[in-house]
Structure 1
Amino acid sequence: MWYKQSRNSLFFKIFINYLVIILIFAAFYMVAFTFLKSKIQNEIIQYNKLILNNTVERYSTHFTRIKNVLFQYSSNEYLVAFNSQLLTKNENDVNYLLAKKVIQNLQTDSFNPLFYLDNIVIYFNSNSFTIDKEGSSEAQGMFSNLYGSDKYTYMFWKEQFKLNQAFQLLPSAKFYKTAERSKGYELIPFSFQTFNGNYQIIAFIDISKTQQAFFGDDDNRQFMILGADNKIIYRSSDELSAAAMPAFETNQAYKLQKGYYYFKQKDTDGLTYVTLVPYANIASELRKMNLTLVLILIITTVIGLAASFYHSKRIQSPVEQIISSITDRNPLKVKSSINEFAFIHQKIHSLLEERDGVKNELASKQSVLTSFNYINRLKSINSDLSEWKDFIATEDNFIVVLYELNFRSAAYEELQIQVERASYYIREHIDLMVSERFSDSHTFQIEKNQILSVISGDTPIDNIHSLLMELKHHLDQDKKYCIVTIAISSKFEHVSQFNNAYLQVLELVQRSRLVEETQIVFQSRPLAPTFAFSPGQDQELNVCLQAGDKDRSLQLIVRCLDDMYQKEASVAQFRFFADAVISKVWKILEIFNVHTSASWELKPLMHRLKDCYTLNEYKLAFNSVIESATSLVRSKKGDTDPIVTYVMDILHTKYAEDISLDNLADKLNMSNAYLSVYIKEKTGVNFIDHLNDIRINQAQALLSGTDMNINDISIQIGYRNITSFNRMFKKRTGMTPGEYRKNNLQITSL
């Protein structure tokens, strides 16, 4: 009996829940540990593969670089002339100053830290004569005393002339100086000779420096290079051999054999690079990780059990006191350091009194809650208010009327009245007129500039039209201060369609015309495509703005405004066009380095465009904006850098052509590096970023203002590759051209 009571107690339940959570986390930890162990082992293998890949790339690049160095000597004018004299003249008639010129080149290349060379020796067969970075000497003395080797003797190099092989990467060997034979140093000979030539050029690569630079100095890893004939070119340990290597399957990059991981990779020259990593290294890392993670698991489990017991006890005691306080009308204070329990104890008896107060408050706010519930349904917000249930139960038809208030800020500044206050007066006036005609109606404000009327029942549409025409007469008396657009929805049969009704009137408002009076929109109308400048007009406007030509710039803009007005463009389309022109004006001002402090007077003029509701207002506002902008341009033209102006003119007028920094630098007799830094310093933006911004801005205008397909737009703005265009467009705008056009059409339709 005691056990059952204890098992059902709060302490037992909480403690068991803690234990279950600990076990779940422990199980997850073990699964994650197993996965992590395998993942880490793979990562270690991938890390060693990456090291070998980098080493192969560096060695391959280095050998190619040495090839180029050796090959360049075959066309060295001093070497060619000196060799010719050795072959055609007596020894006393040879101009050895030519050899001095060659020696200077040998010194430059030998001491180049990127080549990792010990020396470069040119061996002339006809005279048994050599030159290197130190000077000249007899060939036999060179290969016996200075670069003596058991493998590469004087006779070995002598025999190489008979082989007529252009390039030879020979196996590494120990080279000695006669006086210091105990101090041998390992070098890789890399030789080159022309067909039936009189000389061969031998580069001695310092393999110790090369190995340290390309592979590192980890003592646990071993390294080997094999030639195309499987002959060892270099090995870091004498124990390595080609015969001991395991057999690799096709495309197999590594293999475990006899306690070693063998990693193999072949380069384009046929050389094979092999790395050996002891498996003990990987196993050691995994063992360390195992011990660490197991120790962490044990410690966290013990801490979790102790904390579970402690917190279960801490929760049990105040809960028992709270239960007592519920049954006792005058309970003692709960003894707990937990603030929440103390708060619950203080508030538990006042909840009943607050409940009664809430009921009374809800009853007094019935009208406010009804308006709030309408807004919830219109914006697809769920609500459980009983008033909404009553409205659903009626199952009446309904019509939604939306009033959008477009306040003229300049006029309201004269009245010294806040827009919020004016909205309230207009809502009250509309509510009074609508409720007098239709008792089953409700008018409320849903946004700072939107008022909504919901008219329920089978109300004749003609009666609603008559009311709105009367309301229009009242509102037009104040059109100097506020222009109202009224949209009427279709008749909807069920309350679940409220959201659809709201979206319908919202779309109707956005399709309204540009008129200076209250406008009533009864039905939707087709709109012309989005208006924008043609590519030719766009370039012409750029030229006019950059020239500071107000009249020509304004003529282009007014012509487009008249065309839009004639084709009955919507208010949203006029605003989109205004935003596009303003964006272009700011871009021109940036080109001329017009700072914010100098253009402060332009910002309020641009803001006036947002308060335009007639064609004449748009023309006047654009006139002020263009006049101010071109004035700023003209004032800056004298201070404008001619080089930057020339470059920006080219970019804005010839962005569709194949423009490159090299071509512009050639025209300006400047290096491309200097021109790039110059543009960055003067404008704060790189040349290529300027070009891409101009092209993408033009692409946005074509996507939103024309029906051209994306491939044609890509070609017209200068991108010959559609993939490059898509990638750059998404980088600049965050979406693909297709997504941008679709999004723009949706915005325009609204």
Structure 2
Amino acid sequence: MPKLRRLRQIRMRSNSLFLRLVAGFLCIILLLVCLTSYALSVSKSNVRHEIVKYNTLMLRNTMENYENHFEIITKQMYFFYFSDNVQRLQSDPRYTFFPKVISDILTWVGNPNLYINNIVFYAQNSELGRFAVEKGTSSSNDTMFKAFMASERYPLEFWEQQFNESYTQRMFPADTFYSNIFEGRKETLGNYIPMVFKRADNHDFYMVVFLDAAKMYNAFHQASNDDLVIYDGRGQVIYNRAANEEYPALEELASRNSAFIQDDKYHFYMKDPSSGLTYLHRLPAAQLASQTQLNFTVVVVVIAVIALSVVMSLFLAARINNPFRKLIDSIRGPGEGEQYRSSIREFDIIGSQLRDKNRLMKQWAFLNHLKDIRDSEYDRAKLEFIDKPYVFVLFHVIEKNNAAWPEGTFQSWLYYMKVFIEDKLNRSFPDALTFQTEYNQILSMVFIEDGDELHALLRDMKAVFDQDRDSGTITIAVTSTYDSSDQMNAAYREVRERIEERLLVDETQIVSAAPTGPVELAFTQEQDVQFRANIREGNEEAASNIVRNFFSEWRSPAATAATWHRFAERVEERIRLAALERIGLPRLDEILANSADKISRCVTVAELERQLLEWVTLTAHAVQEKKAEPKDAVTSFVIDYVQNHMAEEIYLDALAEKLNLSSGYLSSYFKEKTGTNIVEYVNETRIRKAAELLLDTRMKVQEVAEAVGYRNITSFNRMFKKYTGLRPSDYRKGDHDRPDGETTSG
């Protein structure tokens, strides 16, 4: 029995996770040792080829960088050369033109990506004689090329000779330029490559661009050692980095391969077919050989790595139980202690998924809390905190009317926006919660210590959002600071109120200040009466002028988007009430279809004005078309009777008897002609008349109800609210809470 027990224990230990992991690690290490030995044996032959390939690739990148830059310089400088200021200086030189040309030169020289140190315009045989203009001043030719831009290789005679040359653009070899402004003191300016630009039909004026050769080399050269030679098509060396070393002539390179050894150096060269420039890069052969040798250090490192791998395998196997235990602790419940993080990818993925799940659960509890939805006490407890300052940030998105979504939808754009917002906020505020609360709103709860950092981040996000203005307009509202979970509902109310403070402008807005006070917009009583009368008569021009005049008078910067939207809703209501009798409900519903959505999607005051004018035009045209139709005797009788006997009881049977028709036939006939039945028409006509009396008279509500045929005030209130959405008293206050129809209030 003891032997069997001992064998069982050995078997159990051999089946343990620790021993199996150790065995697996050792097998992997053995396999890696074999692979490493084989790789080292064959890598030496490949390293040399790869180094040559690498240096060739680096030289190609260098050549492409230089060629692209020379092409950019040529195009941009021709553009500058043929600009209005330069051509004016060339054709009719005057001293008054110099400042403008100097200003243009400073603009080009100030661009750090062009590597231009100076631009000089040199002229002869002009009304001003010989003169030169550069970035700092204008001077005579003698002063310019002997004092300001002096060079041993390019004396004054060289620059004068260029007037007689027949080329239009040429690059000359680099040379050191210096300044002799102060006598006896020679100040080196730098190593520059001159490029001359001329017109073929003008031999008295040309432009010289001085490129900073050292800066271009530092920006474009991609190689491990400091060596580069550039030849032009005539064999001249345009630039030589290693000025003190000898280099082969261009003719020698033509008979060689693109990579060859000479004077204990590897030479790599390439020629650009378009510009004719040849680029030569040299690398010491000893350096290349040292990189291909498998030295003793590599062998020692490999052995050390193998030994360390064995130790690490034992260590990881011994510690493998700890991550599992911590993961199990994390699975037991969210929000309990710090989340587990591991350097092992699989464990970290599991931990990340758990953190995401916990965050989603917290967001769900947060949303339920804001919406006042009953949830579990456990979920609610995760949101309870005190003395932890936070703000709400609400991103309100309005889709543009003409927005196009070739690769998605508005909701997909909103999703990517949410991901962007969440990423930006969580980088600076790790505890921030972000989720979509409405179809066009994204809410973030940000725990902050310093509001300045948040506002700076929001300004950066605003710059990004402004790039998508063709798709939609975004408003960012920020609340004041709260410090307790009990105040979340108040913070949510505040952020929704602040969204309403946005302005009707086509740009991203950040609203962080408290409202300044209510501002309302409405027609004056006289404008309102005239507007409704013109709509009823189909006078498009007069009604449109009232709208245009109102918008031209009230472009108040204090008027918020909500204020303008309320005004537009009232105008839409006036159109509906005034035109209902004339064109009928079906035609009116067709013209004003989705009016609330169209108003809310207007992002500027001008766009809102165009929308209202469109409704006015369509309604006026419909009224005119209706007027042009031949009148129907039956419907005309019913309409006139209702208008003249509105205060009396009106019954369908009585109307049918007066027309010698059955009530059923009369009802069907009237609906066929007008689109609405008689009962609804009577109610709509009465309510429309009541709305006019409430706005245009000082009659009491009871008196208005009786004047339009309602004896029961409760029935009148119910019917009025059904058609207008407001009680009669509230409807009157909407336009008469200010004396004489004033349109604003403090």
Query: What is the TM-score normalised by the length of structure 1?
Result: 0.42
TM-score, reference length from structure 2: 0.43
